Amino acid sequence: MESQLHGTVLITGATGFIGSHLCRRLANNQRVALHAISRSEQEGSKGIRWWKADLAASTAVRSVFAEVKPDFVFHLASVVTGARDISFVRPTLEANFLSTVNIMIGAAESGCRRVVLAGSMEEPAGAADPVPCSPYAAAKFASTAYARMFHALYSLPVVVLRVFMTYGPAQKDLRKLIPYVILSLLRGEAPQTSTGTRLVDWIYVEDVVDGILRAATAPGVEGKVADIGSGTLVPIRAIVEKLVQLVCPEIVPHFGEVPDRPLEQVRVADVAQSFQEIGWRPAVSLDEGLRRTVEWYRIHSTSSQVSHQLTTAQTDGK
């Protein structure tokens, strides 16, 4: 799919989990001039031109767009947390909502061919009176509404992908359930999680990258919203038990040690509609995806970067 992409590409959130996988896929594409934005200075990467900018600052964003003049924009930058604490209201408002508005203004003014925004499974959908379950969900929900407005009013060729629970190798936030459980088991420790009853639609990161690239090239999907998930609900407890069997069957996980969150969303991706809209469907099974993920962490768990993150990482209770 990346071979169908040609032109100048700008990626936000390029140092993040999904963004870094997307960059690796595109860095060797000779038909793509790849640019990426980061808030901090980045060392030179093969095939990537880095720009330093705060996406919440409209002047900085406009300056990058004026220089790069991208044909395609993948806006993946986000504060990713489902925490309900009031301290997350402003960070998610600025990093998730305001940044998205600034990106769409820059894209509309520069005449991009396609903008792909990363929405979220946490966004309320289908309810007559939707109530977001967290500051993160509210910011994503508002961003999707603005995307629809930008398409309707300003003809911005934007596509929103509601990304479901993504997992896979090299997930940097070790508080997330799957890396936390794997690394606990690799250390011989029993992971402590919520009750594990919540049903979740899990999707492997390379499938997400496939969906993002497909959304950039699929014809006639401007203004549309598509789900990027597996189309299957699996409880958290079953994920933990699968990981135990893959890593260390002798360990008994401690369920119920972390409180369940209020207003948790239980949503399953409409994969049939996604295939109809953008011609995408997931390819990696849950068992295969978990196996690949475990192997990556088994190999890299002793690296200095992962070891440093382990000193402060605790499960977020997902």
Same domain, 158 and 173: no
Residue-wise pLDDT tens digits, 42-101:
766 778 999 999 999 899 999 999 999 999 999 998 877 767 888 888 888 888 889 999
Same domain, 182 and 158: no
pTM: 0.90
Question: What span, in angstroms and rounded, lies between the C-alpha atoms of 193 and 211?
Answer: 30
Residue bearing the bigger pLDDT, 224 or 44 = 224
**Model confidence band, residue 1 (pLDDT cutoffs 50, 70, 90):** low
- Burial group, residue 84, by CB count within 10 angstroms (0-12, 13-18, 19+): middle
Residue-wise pLDDT tens digits, 32-52:
999 999 877 676 677 899 999
Same domain, 259 and 141: no
CATH number reported for the structural domain that contains residue 240 in this entry: 3.90.25.10
Q: What is the pLDDT of residue 303?
A: 61
| 158 secondary structure, DSSP code | E
Phi, psi of 147 (to 5 degrees): -60, -45
Structural tokens at position 169: 């190798």
Same domain, 157 and 289: no
Q: Please say whether the beta carbons of 96 and 139 come within 8 A.
A: yes
CATH number reported for the structural domain that contains residue 16 in this entry: 3.40.50.720
Same domain, 290 and 308: yes
Instruction: Assess whether pLDDT exceeds 90 at residue 180.
Output: yes
Tell me the three state secondary structure of residue 4: helix
Assigned domain for 40 exists: yes
Assigned domain for 275 exists: no
Q: Which domain holds residue 13?
A: 1-163
Same domain, 38 and 73: yes
Q: What is the pLDDT of residue 114?
A: 97
Same domain, 149 and 20: yes
Q: Please say whether the beta carbons of 211 and 279 come within 8 A.
A: no
**Model confidence band, residue 128 (pLDDT cutoffs 50, 70, 90):** low
Assigned domain for 12 exists: yes
Same domain, 46 and 90: yes
Look-up: residue for tokens 């088994």?
Answer: 298
Assigned domain for 226 exists: no
Same domain, 105 and 174: no
Q: What is the pLDDT of residue 299?
A: 93
**Model confidence band, residue 318 (pLDDT cutoffs 50, 70, 90):** very low
Same domain, 151 and 24: yes
Assigned domain for 220 exists: no
Q: What is the pLDDT of residue 191?
A: 95
Q: Please say whether the beta carbons of 68 and 51 come within 8 A.
A: yes
For the chain, the domain total comes to 2
Residue-wise pLDDT tens digits, 227-244:
999 999 999 999 999 999
- Last residue in a domain, options 139, 163, 187: 163
Assigned domain for 217 exists: no
Assigned domain for 90 exists: yes
